[in-house]
Structure 1
Amino acid sequence: MLLALLSALGNGMASVLQRRAAMDQVREERGAPGPKRNLLRLARLLRRRYWLAGLAAMMVSAAAQVGALAVGRLSVVQPLLVSELLFTLVVGSLVFRHRPDGRTWLSFVMLAAGLALFLVAADPSHGETTAQNGEWLPVGVVVAVAVCALIAGAHALRGPPRAVALGSATAACFACTAALIKELTGRFSGGVAAVFTDWPLYAVCAVGLLSFLLLQSTLRAGTLAASQPALTLGDALVSIALGWVLFGERVELGLRIVPEVAGILLMAAGIVGLTRSPAMCGGWDQAVPEPPRQSGTPLPGRPRHPDGGEGTP
């Protein structure tokens, strides 16, 4: 659980910092979009300190996630990553210099309470460390079709709906990456040679790279208020499904379905409140207030006129 929460903190920091870099780039660069220009934009991001800091946070998050999945259940570790919304709010309020209001905090409390209620009621069971032979192929096809459909639908949308569609596609890829990591860690007992000669390692690299590229598109498509809930909750729900199908992790049903549904509804209420919160919409993560300029000291190379104005250097 501690490793999962550390991973959530890293994810939240990465989203905020890379969103800041993306918005700085949007303000500085103008021009018609296109595949070549998008590649150039991605290359220029490598020189931005906020983006590099976000990349470092993402690497810490990935390492903590691998450790958590090696010793924990997929259907527990991934839902705990929903807590990255809280970390996103805290880090975002510092980076974008906007203080959240009480309504925003209430929404996150509802979201956290719903998550806790669902996990306690569902009580996911331990499953197998690896999937059965032949199960990965049909599951991979279903996930690939769903991701392609979401990406195709996103091209026809604009604004928040586009961010939600891309965020959902990214979430499915993240959940699939987590399941592949669990499959990979379950094969560590076979030795180093077996790890490097078997398919899970290379599948993790390929799907992880796709997730990374989709995340960059998601961050540019809309505000964090639209994309982040789809990213985190989508990841949690798809991971629970993959844990059940691939690794035999079961959730309690029967009478426990009542608190489980209540937890889901509470999480949904928190998400709705979050997306409507004044603190996280209307440019919360698009503009950074400029520091006030001291009027008493002229800028270097710009002499003052006798009337108090600044001359042209």
Structure 2
Amino acid sequence: MNVLAVVLALLSALGNGAASVLQRRAAMDQNREDRGARGPKGDLLRLARLLRRPYWLAGLAAMVVSAVAQVGALAVGRLSAVQPLLVSELLFTLVVGSLVFRHRPDGRTWRSFVMLAAGLALFLAAADPSHGETTARNGTWLPAGVAVAIVVGSLIAVARVVRGAARAVVLGCATAACFACTAALIKEFTGRFSGGVAAVLTDWPLYAVCAVGLLSFLLLQSTLRAGTLAASQPALTLGDALVSIVLGWVLFAERIELGLRILPEVAGILLMAAGIVGLTRSPAMCGAWDAAAPEPPDTADRTAGTPRPPLSRGRRNPSGGRTP
């Protein structure tokens, strides 16, 4: 895999991580401040107000940067190699989230995320996906698309009956499948550039990218509102990577190495599993480090020379911070 594809994939991962954090912050601000009417009309009003929030708009800008970088990476790299590199989004999410939410994750959470990333990196290094074709083989898109649609529909149905972290994980898996399908469609779209602009604009991949990309965007918003990033983000990134490997094999004839390499591949999978177990037991999952946006300082506290009142000993809020 060439250096340009790696750089673009990492830039896309940074944009994705920043977008998730910023739009999660906007969603939390919205949940804390909005006490309006319920029902379809109230939902539309809340959505309209959400789309005007600075954090949400900043997240949208990061998402655009990520999409452009992803298109470039898929144009010069392999689907089964580019998408798994986006697992670094987990680390970028932690870094950006620590700044935005001002709640630094503990060491166990960091180690769990690093284990996930290292496990997937080990798996990809051992698997070494082959180049494959630039466009999908004839007759493979329809059954692959139907299979993805059934999986996503089933996950959405399950998400309607579960709550809390489980709902965020299920919706994250559905969103990941849509993201992987979108990436495969982008790969198909860029692979047809040689046919000329007119052919690209009149062929189906461009419009399929728009439709599936829009569905992915809407599912992502539901995922971010469903629960903490500690629950949804691993499902988003790992699900995207693994489904992309399958789609690369089915659609573009990209192959992974087996034989003796199956040992480090299994080791990578076990390392990822250990990271997932560690994450589910970490204080970040239980404490919801991103569940509440930091409150703005009081006007009196911003006044120069005005001392703050002393803190009462023993008064702490549920998240562990002192209550002024």
TM-score (norm 1): 0.91
CA RMSD of aligned residues (A): 1.7
CA displacement, residues 149-198 of structure 1 (integer Å, 9 cap, x when unaligned): 10011001111111111111100000000000000000000010001000
Q: Does the 8 Å CA contact 2:28/2:293 hold for their aligned counterparts?
A: no
Q: How big is the shift at 1:277?
A: 1.7
Query: What is the identity percentage for the equivalent residue pairs of Structure 1 and Structure 2?
Result: 85
Q: Identify which of 250, 253, 259 aligns with 1:248.
A: 253
SS in 1 for 2:287: coil
Distance across 1 between alignment mates of 2:233 and 2:303: 43
1:281 match:
286
- Structure 2 gap segments, 5+ residues each: 1-5, 305-324
Q: Does 1:73 align with 2:78?
A: yes
Distance across 2 between alignment mates of 1:270 and 1:55: 29
Q: Does 1:268 align with 2:273?
A: yes
CA displacement, residues 195-236 of structure 1 (integer Å, 9 cap, x when unaligned): 100000000000000000000000001111111111111000
2:234 match:
229
CA displacement, residues 37-88 of structure 1 (integer Å, 9 cap, x when unaligned): 3332222112100000000000000000000000000000000101100000
Q: Does the 8 Å CA contact 2:230/2:288 hold for their aligned counterparts?
A: no
Stretch moving more, 151-160 or 39-48? 39-48
Q: Does 1:181 align with 2:186?
A: yes
Write the letter of the residue equivalent to 1:119.
L
Residues 1:32 and 1:267: Cα distance change in structure 2 (over 3 Å)? farther
TM-score (norm 2): 0.88
1:107 match:
112
Q: Does the 8 Å CA contact 2:104/2:289 hold for their aligned counterparts?
A: no
CA displacement, residues 73-125 of structure 1 (integer Å, 9 cap, x when unaligned): 00000001011000000000100001122212211221222122101100000
Q: Does 1:58 align with 2:51?
A: no
Residues 1:293 and 1:155: Cα distance change in structure 2 (over 3 Å)? same
Q: How big is the shift at 1:267?
A: 1.3
- Structure 1 gap segments, 5+ residues each: 300-313
Distance across 1 between alignment mates of 2:81 and 2:126: 12
Q: Does 1:192 align with 2:193?
A: no
Q: How big is the shift at 1:295?
A: 5.3
Distance across 2 between alignment mates of 1:34 and 1:242: 39
SS in 2 for 1:170: helix
Distance across 2 between alignment mates of 1:38 and 1:80: 36
Distance across 2 between alignment mates of 1:92 and 1:296: 25
SS in 2 for 1:279: helix
How many matched pairs? 299
Distance across 2 between alignment mates of 1:153 and 1:38: 22
